[in-house]
Amino acid sequence: MKLDEVKIGGMGASRKRVEDNRFIRGKGNYVDDIVLPGMLHMEILRSPVAHARIKSIDTSAAWDMPGVRLVLTGEMMAARNLAWMPTLSYDTAAVLATDKVRFQGQEVCAVIADDPYIAKDACGKIVVDYEILPPIVNPVQAAAADAIQIRDDKAGQVGNKIFDWEIGDKARTDKAFEDADLVSKIELHYPRTHPSPMETCGSIADYDRATGKLTFYVTSQAPHIVRAAVAMVAELPEQNIRVISPDIGGGFGNKVPIYSGYVIAILASILTEKPVKWIEDKTGNLVSTGFGRDVYLKGEMALRKDGKILGVRMNTISDHGAFFADAQPSKFKIGLMHSAFAAYDIPTAHMFATGYYTNKAPGGVAYRCSFRVTEAMFFQERMVQAAADDLGMDQAEFRRVNFVKDEQHPHRTAFGFLTDSGQYEKCLDIGLEAINYKNFEAERAEAAKRGRLLGIGISTMTEPLGAGNSREYDILGIKMFDSAELRIHMSGKAILRTGSRGQGTGHETTWAQIVAHELGIPADDILVEEGDTDTAPFGMGTYASRSTPVAGAAIAMVARKIRAKARKIAAHLLEVSEEDIEWELGRFYVRGNESRGVTIQDCAMAAYSNMPDGMEPGLENTAYYDPPNLTWPFACYIAKVEIDPETGVWDVLQFVAVDDCGVRINPMIVEGQIMGGLTEAYAMANMQYQTYDEEGNIIGGNYMDFLLPTAWETPGFELYEVVTPCPHHPIGAKGVGECATVGGPAAFVNAVVNALKHKGVRNIDMPMMPNRVYEALTTGKDIYGMPPVRSGN
């Protein structure tokens, strides 16, 4: 009577989610749901202008309002050495503005009052006198010789450039271009967008003077990083800081950084000696917290007539806003942009990246993305399509010619990554079959008769997910490993804690499945707990699809440690030597006598009641996992679109997704991640972006202008699966949460551009709004969404 792994909720089981039980009853526990006795409420006054010197701030009328407890200004923060804080990219960011405001929406003052309504009233009573300075809203303006310097606070800063950074072999790449039959070029802008989880950022700081302990409730994807940062910034002893990240209403990278509001709320709690709650409004979230993308590309590809890519040049210019606050490994200034072309066998490549300050919100977070991988794969797949078109070659065939072949793995990419597994052609073939690629030209001709334009677009990519390893990946010097702690109770039930933090990603469900797989303890018997730094082992948190690759591996490893100890106990219980013990799921038995055995539960009880002489009691352990490499999932996305040529409106007729994310722990959850990711890809392709007008006013600062698609517009998605296990991951899994957002956009853009190919159109920048598509169609010109734009009616 062997255990059925699926029945006990092990690997491969589409186990229904444990966390749903509270969410469907309205019993989730998000940070705004928490109420502490005597709690005060904080509201932030934000700058209405993009760039201005602060001449004076008068807070007296706010102080005079009944119910107001504290009004904080930059000057008051500065007196406590808290006016500036470090960012995740070795820069500084203003907590409350002292000298200048540098973007619209920047934090200027904070009011702490008995009630948020009163705090908001008091914000309206603060008078700030601004001397308006010229705003810089794009890198071209930032680079101009006579441009005003945004960061005049930084000693040694010259102009508005943040960095120049390069990678690859320039000389060899130049040679490849000399030898090329054809050079394909394309210029693109990946527009600024925002992760925009449904729940905004927010926190409650609760400082207890009596104990010196700060309890900080915060909606954070990386609570341990918050603890470290608070210890650093607020100079509180780390053992006295407890960070609790309760249920997270979506993160997508937005909830990795430390924001001004957190620092202010903590100081306010220390000063008032009361809990202080700060819940950001949606506008605050969209105008001031970590955005994503905003990168320009000049891409060039050296090609041989037969379709072989000889070399790639990428030149990127990125707009980082007022502070360089990218959340990324410190070694790589433009994230993992150089993961581009990892799926293609390319002899040589070179990339040059430049970053600028502008008078826009800071951030540059990895929005559902492994550190700029989204831009990398989008640029790659747009360059691939342009090259195929320039060669006059079929877009699928061009990919096939240049793919890294299965047997070439492990494969060193032109930019130096090591990809280790994949079946790229197989995925492509499944996708082409599913969308009936062979028949597409016939379909296109048929649609033309109805006056409609059809297009088909492919996006294929492998992306690096799951940083570290620790040799190459760190954030502010802290190495990117992760952890798990497993305690088996005497009844054989267990509690598992990790340093990651789920945010709708199903950790409470899937983590138990890994333990079930390793130990045979039914998943329902395992409680998963995350997000409390007093109880969870240290971890770098959940982003960049790193939970399964890193924390997931740590879980498997800690379970194996437990199993190793249990084996000794089993030998003791069965009165044989350890060498004579065999393992099957959930049970040890005596080799050659299968009926004589003990269950893992028996071993758990014995660990507390009947352990061998000299053995440490108990059955618990911790594992820290430092992955040997990133994981490399592969995806093939194909979109078929139809355009109404009279309006430029486009609809998705069919969308096929083939994902190879290695071994799937919970297929239901994996598919949920893919569908969600594709929806965000569709959103970016179609409607979701942020831009700024000439004055630096943000467009896309609320949900009236920052458009998330509804159920009505969002297309259906057809999902297919290929499994190439990750060779170095203990359970063969690869990251998956972000593949669809990373690879999806190019499929939509390639499809729309494909539909307009006959007009000579090679590019439409996202979002491909109807007016852009119509303009491309009627003029035959490429459409660049270069800011600045004019604001609305």
Partner 1 sequence: MYPSRFAYESPKTLKDAIGLLDAAGGDAKILAGGQSLVPMLKLRFAFPDQLVDINNIPDLDYITFDADGTLRIGALVRHEHLEKSAEIAKRQPTIAAAAPLVADPIVRTRGTFVGSVCHADPQGDWAATMIALGGYIVAQGPKGKRKIDMKDFVLGPYANALAFNEIAVEAVIPAPKGVARGGYLKLERRVGDFATASVAVALDMQGETVVGAGFALAGVGGKTIDANDAASALIGKKLTEETIAECAALVAAKAEPRTDHRGSSEYKRHIVATFVKRILTANSTQKAA
Partner 2 sequence: MSSLYEEIQTPPASDIAVRRLTVNVNGEDRTANVEPRLLLVHLLRQAFKLTGTHSGCDTTNCGACTVLFDGRPIKSCTMLAVQADGHSVQTVEGLATASELHPIQEGFKQEHALQCGFCTPGMMMAAKALLEENLNPTEDEIRWALSGNLCRCTGYQNIVKAVLWAAEKMRAELN
Whether omega before 788 lies within 30 degrees of 0, making that bond cis, reads: yes
Alpha-carbon distance 543 to 230, whole Å?
Answer: 20
- Which 3 state secondary structure label does DSSP give 205? strand
Q: Does 748 bind partner 1 (CB under 8 A)?
A: no
Based on C-alpha coordinates, what's the Rg of the chain? 27
Q: Report what 646 binds from partner 2, partner 1, none; CB cut-off 5-8 Å by kind.
A: partner 1
Residue-level length of the chain? 793
Q: Report what 647 binds from partner 2, partner 1, none; CB cut-off 5-8 Å by kind.
A: partner 1
Q: Does 691 bind partner 1 (CB under 8 A)?
A: yes
Compare residues 114 and 345 and give the one whose CB is closer to partner 2.
Answer: 114
Residues 6+ apart with CB under 8 A from 117: none
Residues 6+ apart with CB under 8 A from 20: none
Q: Other CB atoms closer than 10 Å to residue 489's CB: what's the count?
A: 18
In DSSP terms, 282 is beta-bridged to: none
Whether omega before 468 lies within 30 degrees of 0, making that bond cis, reads: yes
Of 36, 271, 707, 723, the residue at the interface with partner 1 (CB under 8 A) is: 707
Alpha-carbon distance 556 to 554, whole Å?
Answer: 5
Q: Does 513 bind partner 1 (CB under 8 A)?
A: no
Smallest gap, in angstroms, from Cβ of residue 412 to partner 1?
Answer: 43
Which residue reads 């007009």 in tokens?
759
Q: At what angle do helices 260-272 and 223-233 cross, to 10 degrees?
A: 60
Q: Minimal CA–CA distance to 539: which of 584, 465, 479, 587? A: 479
Q: Does 615 bind partner 1 (CB under 8 A)?
A: no
Smallest gap, in angstroms, from Cβ of residue 125 to partner 2?
Answer: 13
DSSP assigned state of 715? P
- Which 3 state secondary structure label does DSSP give 241? strand
Smallest gap, in angstroms, from Cβ of residue 119 to partner 1?
Answer: 8
> Contact, 744 vs 738, CB < 8 A?
no
Of 480, 482, 774, 782, the residue at the interface with partner 1 (CB under 8 A) is: 774
Where would I find the beta strands (DSSP E) of 34-104?
A: 40-46, 52-58, 68-73, 84-86, 92-94, 100-101
Amino acid at 482: D
Count of positions on this chain that bind partner 1 (CB under 8 A): 33
Compare residues 171 and 704 and give the one whose CB is closer to partner 1.
Answer: 704
Smallest gap, in angstroms, from Cβ of residue 168 to partner 1?
Answer: 36
Q: Report what 769 binds from partner 2, partner 1, none; CB cut-off 5-8 Å by kind.
A: partner 1
Residue tagged active-site, from 192, 227, 293, 368: 368
Q: Does 117 bind partner 1 (CB under 8 A)?
A: yes
> Contact, 558 vs 623, CB < 8 A?
yes
Where would I find the beta strands (DSSP E) of 220-328?
A: 241-244, 276-279, 295-303, 309-319
Q: Where does residue 375 rank: exposed (0-12), middle (13-18), buried (19+ CB within 10 A)?
A: buried
Q: Does 769 bind partner 1 (CB under 8 A)?
A: yes
Q: Report what 23 binds from partner 1, partner 2, none; CB cut-off 5-8 Å by kind.
A: partner 2
Smallest gap, in angstroms, from Cβ of residue 37 to partner 1?
Answer: 22
Q: Does 695 bind partner 1 (CB under 8 A)?
A: no
Of 647, 758, 759, 760, the residue at the interface with partner 1 (CB under 8 A) is: 647
Q: Does 120 bind partner 1 (CB under 8 A)?
A: yes
Smallest gap, in angstroms, from Cβ of residue 775 to partner 1?
Answer: 7
Q: Minimal CA–CA distance to 97: which of 75, 120, 125, 124? A: 75
Q: Work out whether strand 411-412 and strand 241-244 pair parallel, antiparallel, or are unpaired.
A: unpaired
**Residues between 155 and 194 that touch partner 1 (CB under 8 A):** none
Residues that bind partner 2 (CB under 8 A): 16-17, 19-28, 30, 32-33, 35, 65-67, 114-115, 117-118, 196-199, 247-252, 281-283, 503-506, 668-669, 671-672, 675-680, 702-704, 708, 710-712, 714, 716-717
Q: Report what 114 binds from partner 1, partner 2, none; CB cut-off 5-8 Å by kind.
A: partner 2
Q: Report what 199 binds from partner 1, partner 2, none; CB cut-off 5-8 Å by kind.
A: partner 2
Residue tagged active-site, from 369, 427, 661, 726: 369
Walk across the sheet containing 202-208 and list its strands: 68-73, 107-113, 40-46, 276-279, 202-208, 213-218, 241-244
Q: Does 699 bind partner 1 (CB under 8 A)?
A: yes
Compare residues 90 and 117 and give the one whose CB is closer to partner 2.
Answer: 117
Smallest gap, in angstroms, from Cβ of residue 123 to partner 2?
Answer: 14
Q: Report what 691 binds from partner 1, partner 2, none; CB cut-off 5-8 Å by kind.
A: partner 1
Q: Report what 247 binds from partner 1, partner 2, none; CB cut-off 5-8 Å by kind.
A: partner 2
Task: Examine the residue annotation and report whether 221 is marked as an active-site residue of this protein.
Answer: yes
Q: Does 694 bind partner 1 (CB under 8 A)?
A: no
In DSSP terms, 311 is beta-bridged to: 302
Task: Examine the residue annotation and report whether 680 is marked as an active-site residue of this protein.
Answer: no
Task: Examine the residue annotation and report whether 738 is marked as an active-site residue of this protein.
Answer: yes
Residue tagged active-site, from 104, 380, 738, 772: 738
Alpha-carbon distance 432 to 434, whole Å?
Answer: 5
Smallest gap, in angstroms, from Cβ of residue 789 to partner 1?
Answer: 5
Alpha-carbon distance 220 to 250, whole Å?
Answer: 10
**Residues between 546 and 605 that touch partner 1 (CB under 8 A):** none
Smallest gap, in angstroms, from Cβ of residue 785 to partner 1?
Answer: 9
Compare residues 518 and 680 and give the one whose CB is closer to partner 2.
Answer: 680
- Segment contacting partner 1 (CB under 8 A): 285-293, 521-529, 584-592, 766-774? 766-774
**Can you say whether residue 466 is alpha, beta or left, with left for phi > 0 and alpha for psi between -120 and 50 degrees?**
left
Residue tagged active-site, from 104, 106, 221, 673: 221
Q: Six-digit token pair at 682?
A: 């569709």
Q: Report what 506 binds from partner 1, partner 2, none; CB cut-off 5-8 Å by kind.
A: partner 2
DSSP assigned state of 382? H
Alpha-carbon distance 678 to 637, whole Å?
Answer: 9
Q: Does 704 bind partner 1 (CB under 8 A)?
A: yes
Q: Other CB atoms closer than 10 Å to residue 319's CB: what's the count?
A: 26
Residues in contact with partner 1 by the rule CB under 8 A: 43, 116-117, 120-121, 124, 281-282, 646-649, 686-687, 691, 699, 704, 707-710, 712-713, 769-771, 774-775, 789-793
The residues annotated as belonging to the active site are: 221, 368-369, 738
